[in-house]
Each structure stands twice: as structure tokens, then as C-alpha cells.
Amino acid sequence: MVRRIVILGGGTGGTLLANRLRRAHAETELAITVVDQDDRHLYQPGLLFLPFGLTEVEAIVRPRHRQLHGGIGYRQQPVDHVDVEAGAVHLADGTTLSYDVLVVATGTVLVPEETEGLTGPGWNERVFTFYTLDGAEQLRGALDRFTDGRLVVNVVDLPIKCPVAPREFCFLADWYFRQRGLRDKVRITYVTPLDGAFTKPVASRTLAGLLSEKDIEVVTDFNTGEVDGRGGRLVGYDGREVPFDLAAVIPVHAGASYVGRSTGLGDELDFVPCDEHTLQSHAKPNIFVIGDAAGVPASKAGSVTHFEGEVLVENIGRYLAGAPLDASYDGHANCFIETGFGKALLIDFNYDTEPLPGHFPSTIGLPLLKESRLNHLGKLMFQWFYWHSLLPGRDIPGIGSSMPTAGKRPPAERKA
């Protein structure tokens, strides 16, 4: 009997999972259908480079359906809602897809309207976001025209995709204005709701040091209540104000809105709660989650999505075979942090271990929590791996889904 798998979302997670499943199961055994609302697959890490003229749109966008292997069905249609009890997906055109196993891979949506004033006067004139293709392109023009004044980078609230990208934007802005000989005329301020430069102490100290070295001001514990584009002010709920001439704002993120219309599927932010080790949803045993849509305490990152994919292929196979699930996903995340001037840091961590210094993936390898040219080259090469290895569902040699410990130096081993 052919079992039906429906994957909602053909982004990073939906694509790599469909391709891995297709390789693992014959078409006579498993019918796989991917649903997405459009046919434009965006390499999202490229959005960081676009505003600084370091990449072009053509390099980071490809046809979505072409990233799927043969033998995978593709439906281009928005999801309207899921009937969790009946086991059916209702699409916007009124058609229905029934499934034996459903995978939610619809990522996040940005909700700038949630913040007072953000999409009002000044939006896409002096207030931008580089978290969308259109926003990143428009910001490129604004940066080009910017010759002096105050540039503010603001994270409105958490969680966000790639939590390190806003700091990378600050580092690249420092590099960009130095290249143009304008750095002494541009004040760069990073405004965050966190109490430090990162969520975890060791990385937070390293990043705070780098921000200060590069003369980037940091405003912490700032909960943005209003963005006044006309007056050029961020206004905090506590009454503090941060003035700006140009702002790059990372808006509030939520899960896809159809999740909210699907009784029993999501939480109050429309993310899908699931077991953090098996990725099986709390809604129903035959519903699984991958990537940014998952309500787990891991980072919302492509690397996380990739590592989750390895465990999920195994678990879908086990679920269909009636076997116990593999609870081995440990929250592994791995991120290059571009720091400008051809250098980058690398962090590697999981649910239990914070980013530590040392080397990745073993005692010899890329330096962790340390600026290096090698890490920058790794970040650039990642784009090639994304299209040619990660999305097609191939393993990356030497890098598994579980976090490696061999090269890491826990605090006690480091010199005081």
C-alpha cells in the first residue's frame, strides 16, 4: 500500500526533507507531495549581503520546484487550513489533500504591523528590513545614499530567524562605511531586547567585545513599542528613545497564519509545539514539524533545519513501520557570524551546551568563537553547499546531526 506524505512548505526544510525521503523510500511505498504558495526559493543568508552589494538577487533565488528530485509531487497553492482530526489539508483553491503523515515546514512570517508606526510614514524610506528580498534590495539603495548620521539596527522581539544576522549586519555596516571613508561620520547603534550581545554568556562576552572594538554602540533591554519613521525615533515601552536617520528593523516573527486557523495545531504565536527530540507534534502522532515552524527551544536557522531533517527522515520511516521514534535530535545549531574585513566567527551549540571556544568539528578544524579568514571562506562556501548538498538531501562529510564535543573547550579547561 502506498502511504501519502504531505509536506507543507517547500523552503529549506520542506525541500531537504522531501529529497531525503525520496531517496530513502521507493515511489511504490511512499507518495510525497510538497505544497508551497510560490515558486521562488530564496537563499535567505544572502539577504545579509545584498544591502552591501556583496551579492545579487540572481545568485540567491532559484525556481522552487526545480530543487525537488523526480518522483516528488509539487502543488503551488497557499494552505488555507489543516483539519487535524480528519487528516486533510485544505488549500486556498478549495481542493483538499489527504495524508497518512503530515509535515509542517512553513517557517515563519514577519508581522511588522504588530509594532506601532513601523509600516507607517518612513517605511522603506528611512526604515527598512533586510529580512525580506524586497526590503534588502531597497535598503541597498538607502545605504548607498547614506553619507552621515545615525544608523540603528533594531530587533523588536524574539524569536527571530538567524538570531546572529542583526549583529552581522552591524559588523558589515562598520566595514562598509570604513571602505567608503565615512565611518567617522556614521554612528552605528545596535538595539536589542536582550540584556547582552547574545543569549548565552560566553558568546555574549566575545560578541560584546567585538561590537565595542568596532565602535558599535549597544542598547540592551530595549522593548520597542513604537517606530516613529517621520520623527526618526525608536520608542521603548519604558519611555526610552533612540534617535535614528536610517533604521534596519527586524520585525516580530510568527508562524504561518493558517496554523492559527487549524484547530489544535499551533500555539499563540502560530508555531507548532512538538517533542524537541523526535519532532513529533503534540497535536497528533502523524504530524511532524521541521525548521522555523517548530515550537522548540533551538535557534531558527538553516543548520538546525538540516540537522532536524536527518532525524525526521528516520522518524517518519519508524512511524510508518510502527516502531519507537528516535529521540536523538539534541538542538544542534551551527552558525558562521560574518564580522567584516573578510573574517567570520563560528559558533556550534545545542540545547544543553552553549557556544564554546575550540575547534569544529573536532580538535582540528575551523576555529570556534574566534575571528578567522577560514570561517569567512566557510560562510561563502556554505551557499554552494546549500544548493548542491543540503537542499538535495546529501550528507555533509564529517558533520552529523548531533553536536560534536571533541574540539570544544568547556570553561574549566580554559586558562583563567
Return residues touching ligand FAD (CB under 6 A).
9-14, 35-38, 44-45, 47-48, 78-79, 105-107, 130-131, 161-162, 165, 256, 258, 291-293, 300-303, 305, 335
In terms of CB distance, is 197 or 235 closer to ligand FAD? 197
Q: How far is the CB of 321 from ligand FAD (least distance, A)?
A: 26
Comparing CB distances to ligand FAD, the nearer of 235 and 248 is: 248
For the bound state, the minimum distance from the C-beta of residue 271 to ligand FAD, rounded and expressed in Å, comes to 11
Which is nearest to 377 in space by CA: 342, 333, 339? 342
Taking the least distance from each CB to ligand FAD, the nearer of 214 and 306 is 306
CB 335 → ligand FAD: shortest distance, Å?
A: 5
Residue whose CB is less far from ligand FAD, 139 or 335: 335
C-alpha dihedral (316, 318, 323, 326), degrees to nearest 10 = -90
CA 202 to chain centre: 22
In the complex with ligand FAD, the residue whose CB is nearer, 76 or 328, is 76
What's the closest the beta carbon of residue 9 comes to ligand FAD, in angstroms? 3
| Alpha carbon distance 332, 324 (integer Å) | 22
Cell numbers 526544510: residue: 13
Q: What are the residues whose beta carbons fall under 8 Å from the beta carbon of 99, sequence distance 6 or more?
A: 4, 5, 6, 87, 88, 89, 286
Q: How many CB atoms lie within 10 A of CB 201?
A: 12
Residue 188 CA to residue 210 CA, distance in Å, equals 13
Residue placing its CB nearer to ligand FAD in the complex, 9 or 404: 9
Q: How far is the CB of 386 from ligand FAD (least distance, A)?
A: 9
Contact, 400 vs 310, CB < 8 A? yes
Q: How near is the Cβ of 155 to ligand FAD at its closest, in Å?
A: 12
Nearer to ligand FAD among residue 30 and residue 259 (C-beta): 259
Q: Are strands 101-104 and 108-110 parallel, antiparallel or unpaired?
A: unpaired
d(CA 228, CA 117): 6
Q: Decide: 189 and 219 in contact? Cβ < 8 Å.
A: yes
Q: Could you give the 3-state DSSP secondary structure of residue 411?
A: helix
Residue in the block written with cell 487549524: 262
235 vs 313, which CB is nearer to ligand FAD? 313
- The nearer residue to ligand FAD, 164 or 188, going by C-beta atoms, is 164
Quote the least distance from Cβ 319 to ligand FAD, whole Å: 20
Q: How far is the CB of 67 from ligand FAD (least distance, A)?
A: 10
The residue number with the shortest CB distance to ligand FAD is 11
**With contact defined as beta carbons under 8 Å apart, do 139 and 47 qualify?**
no
Q: Considering the complex, what minimum distance in angstroms separates the CB of residue 347 from ligand FAD?
A: 11
If you ran DSSP here, which 8-state letter would residue 263 be given? Answer: T
The bridge status of strand 224-228 relative to strand 233-236 is antiparallel
Residue 289, class by beta-carbon neighbours within 10 Å (0-12 exposed, 13-18 middle, 19+ buried)? buried
CA gap 20, 47 in Å, rounded? 26
For 412, residues 6+ apart whose C-beta sits below 8 A from its C-beta are none
Contact indicator for 131, 161 with CB cutoff of 8 Å: yes
Pseudo-torsion of CA 381, 386, 387, 390, nearest 10°? 130
Q: Which is closer to ligand FAD, CB of 74 or CB of 258?
A: 258
Strand ranges of the sheet holding 30-36, from the earlier edge strand across to the other edge: 72-76, 30-36, 3-8, 101-104, 287-289
Beta bridge pairs of residue 343: 340
Output 69 or 233, the one with its CB closest to ligand FAD. Answer: 69
Q: How far is the CB of 211 from ligand FAD (least distance, A)?
A: 18
**From the CB of 110, what's the least distance to ligand FAD, in Å?**
9
